[in-house]
Amino acid sequence: MSSIEIRNVTKSYGALQVLHGIDLNIVDEEFVVLVGPSGCGKSTLLRMIAGLEEISGGDVLIDGDRINDVSPQKRDLAMVFQSYALYPHMTVAENMGFSLSLSGAKKPQIQKEVGEAAKILHLEDYLERLPKNLSGGQRQRVAMGRAIVRDPKAFLFDEPLSNLDAKLRTHMRAEIRQLHQTLNATSVYVTHDQIEAMTLADRIVVMNAGRIEQVGSPIELFDTPMTKFVAGFIGAPTMNFFDGCVQADVDANPYITLGADNSHVPLPEGMKNHVGQQVSIGIRPQHILAEPAAPESGMITGSVSLVEQTGCETNLLLSAAGQQVTVQTKERMNVATGDWVNLSLKADCLHIFDQGTGRRLN
């Protein structure tokens, strides 16, 4: 397996620039997930690593060798496509052994390698079937099998689970992670699903509008998002944001008031330097405490507009501080639509961002 280095890579289609100077190092045996909304450039970047898209500027290196001008055939990378891209006229065994047959391997060796890959992926009983006679999950496995049957320098995954139903996606997610633990293969995985990113990745690269917003471990991104975009993108349900101005009380302690009810939310000490600055306060739905109560002055009060019981959690959709707020709690709350609740924000769980730049301040 190998390392992949991306140095100041750009991509333009005519006058339209879709990637703006991407820098990224992927170390040997690492599982890196590129995540971001549709159109952020993550698939384009993956295809540039694969050699399926031309590189407009910058360099891509594999094991220190510049491969900008190397054709996809010679990069020795394996790719799993979103559409699986199985050859419809070939059986499962022929699909999986195609790369080996191209490299001139003998039939017994192809059979052996395909057999081993089929065993790992539980495909032994389907080797003589055509792709059209397989279920979505089986097709996905064949696509994986085609990648692992040879020993490539790295695996590239382009949203491989997006065509599966929710249950199968969860199952295949676990299989991919287990496969990575078995093979220890350097992998680059593209998805727009942040749950997939959180569960699979050693490191996540969050992309937005052709730029890298933040690179870090799943927990780093969840706990300390460096931009408002990352904070809103990572985590489900999504983070709540409140806009306001940092103020100081008589003791010079920073605080912020939210909404029309002038609720007083104390801010960390470090925010003393930002008094007078317009900020966005972010807080995850899990970090808001909700208690059924009558509206009270000085508190953030919300009226319940929707209650979702998932069994493990209760999700409340509220109208509070002049906007919609989501609260998630492990407790079984006995509230109904129209009830009032008092909200308190856990002070150590606040994420404070500059309203203009979206950069983290605390």
Nearer to another protein, 150 or 203 (CB): 150
Stretch of 71-79, 225-233, 235-243, 295-303 lying at the interface with another protein (CB under 8 A): 71-79
The residue from 6, 78, 290, 327 that contacts another protein (CB under 8 A) is 78
Nearest Cα neighbor of 220 from 198, 249, 237, 241 is: 198
Site of tokens 């909304």: 37
Token pair listed for 47 = 């295809």
Q: How far is the CB of 161 from another protein (least distance, A)?
A: 16
CA distance 248 to 256: 8
Report the interhelical angle of 136-148 vs 166-183 (nearest 10°). 20
CA distance 97 to 113: 8
Q: How far is the CB of 27 from another protein (least distance, A)?
A: 22
Site of tokens 């190092």: 25
Q: How far is the CB of 92 from another protein (least distance, A)?
A: 14
CA 77 to chain CA centroid, nearest Å:
22
CA distance 232 to 213: 12
Nearer to another protein, 99 or 329 (CB): 99
CA distance 309 to 315: 6
Q: How far is the CB of 96 from another protein (least distance, A)?
A: 10
Q: How far is the CB of 100 from another protein (least distance, A)?
A: 9
- Per-residue x/- mask for another protein, residues 134 to 163, rule CB under 8 A? ------------x-----------------
| 16 lies in the binding site for another protein (CB under 8 A) | no
Nearer to another protein, 154 or 327 (CB): 154
| 72 lies in the binding site for another protein (CB under 8 A) | yes
Site of tokens 């703006």: 20
| Count of residues near another protein by CB under 8 A | 22
CB atoms within 10 A of CB 297: 8
The residue from 81, 177, 195, 209 that contacts another protein (CB under 8 A) is 81
CA distance 251 to 299: 21
| 99 lies in the binding site for another protein (CB under 8 A) | yes
Stretch of 57-65, 67-75, 119-127, 256-264 lying at the interface with another protein (CB under 8 A): 67-75
Using the 8-state DSSP alphabet, how is residue 360 labeled?
A: B
| 52 lies in the binding site for another protein (CB under 8 A) | yes
Token pair listed for 232 = 């809103």
Stretch of 97-105, 206-214, 253-261, 285-293 lying at the interface with another protein (CB under 8 A): 97-105
**Residue 337 half-sphere exposure toward CB, CA atoms < 13 A:** 4
| 71 lies in the binding site for another protein (CB under 8 A) | yes
Residues 6+ apart with CB under 8 A from 2: 28, 62, 63, 153, 154, 186
CA distance 134 to 123: 11
Nearer to another protein, 14 or 311 (CB): 14
3 state DSSP class of 294: coil
The residue from 102, 236, 289, 293 that contacts another protein (CB under 8 A) is 102
| 85 lies in the binding site for another protein (CB under 8 A) | yes
Q: How far is the CB of 180 from another protein (least distance, A)?
A: 19
Given the rule CB under 8 A, which residues bind another protein?
Answer: 50-52, 71-73, 77-79, 81-83, 85-89, 98-99, 102-103, 146
